[in-house]
Amino acid sequence: EIVLTQSPGTLSLSPGERATLSCRASQSVSSSYLAWYQQKPGQAPRLLIYGASSRATGIPDRFSGSGSGTDFTLTISRLEPEDFALYYCQQYGSSPRTFGQGTKVEIK
Amino acid sequence: EVQLLESGGGLVQPGESLRLSCAASGFTFSSYAMSWVRQAPGKGLEWVSAISGSGGSTYYADSVKGRFTISRDNSKNTVYLQMNSLRAEDTAVYYCAKDLRPATAPFDYWGQGTLVTVPS
């Protein structure tokens, strides 16, 4: 099983600032099958990024993903008020499809 | 418009059973693998089980293997999760989720979730 470790646990930033979230895998993620999701309280997760760097339909271009192998990054270039939420990475290249424990982006 | 609507959650005693359903619409259901993902109160996401588009292949997390069974009825556009021998640690919101594409893919649509509560 591939274990995903996200850091930091909480990121305290102000609107307009840049957010950088990390996801490290315990072994290489095949073919960069790495996704990022956003979840707000009381809502289901929403797909942001897949294939490590492809934005899902309707996702603003302030969200970008990068990385390969075992190290991946989600960057939000300029935080909007609606971006303060929980973010999870997930690998879907091998079973079980594991998730990271999440990073909370909160308003400073 | 893609819609996934879960039902069947509720309060059950340890050792009892429950069957969750997820009714899908807005896409060619039989072409896509479907999964169940759960989230315990205040915790992160845990993938539980997946089933291929044809239903011929199924996959389970170790935590539920032997107790949960995933199935689908492509004539009804519905995926099921039969949960037996429920434990307190199975308490969670259960989401059904659709794969983005027929091959290896993340989840592009999720239902609103259904809460399963198993008291300790």
Residues from chain B contacting residue A93 (CB–CB below 8 Å): 104
Contact B21, B9 (CB under 8 A): no
Task: Return the residue in A49, A92, A99, A104 with the most chain B beta carbons within 10 A, the one to mutate for interface testing.
Answer: A92
Task: Return the residue in B32, B107, B108 with the most chain A beta carbons within 10 A, the one to mutate for interface testing.
Answer: B107
How buried is B65 (Cβ within 10 angstroms: 0-12 exposed, 13-18 middle, 19+ buried)? exposed
Q: What pLDDT score was predicted for residue A95?
A: 86
Q: Chain A closest CA to B109's CA: distance in Å?
A: 7
Q: Taking CB atoms and an 8 Å cut-off, how many pairs form between chains A and B? A: 55
| Total residue count of chain A as it appears in this document | 108
Q: What pLDDT score was predicted for residue B101?
A: 83
Beta-carbon separation of A44 and B46 below 8 A: no
Residues 6 or more apart whose Cβ sits within 8 Å of residue B16: B86, B118
Residues from chain A contacting residue B61 (CB–CB below 8 Å): 96
Mean pLDDT for back-to-back runs of 10 residues, chain B (120 residues):
97 97 97 96 96 94 97 98 98 96 89 97
Q: What pLDDT score was predicted for residue A19?
A: 98
Q: What is the mean pLDDT of residues A63-83?
A: 97
Residues from chain B contacting residue A101 (CB–CB below 8 Å): 44
| Residue whose structure tokens are 């997760």 | A45
Q: What is the DSSP code (8-state) at residue A2?
A: -
Question: Chain A residue with minimal CA distance to B41?
Answer: A42
Contact B48, B92 (CB under 8 A): no
Residues from chain A contacting residue B106 (CB–CB below 8 Å): 33, 35, 47, 50, 90, 92
The pLDDT tens digits of the residues spanning A18-63 come to: 999 999 999 999 888 999 999 999 999 999 999 999 999 999 999 9
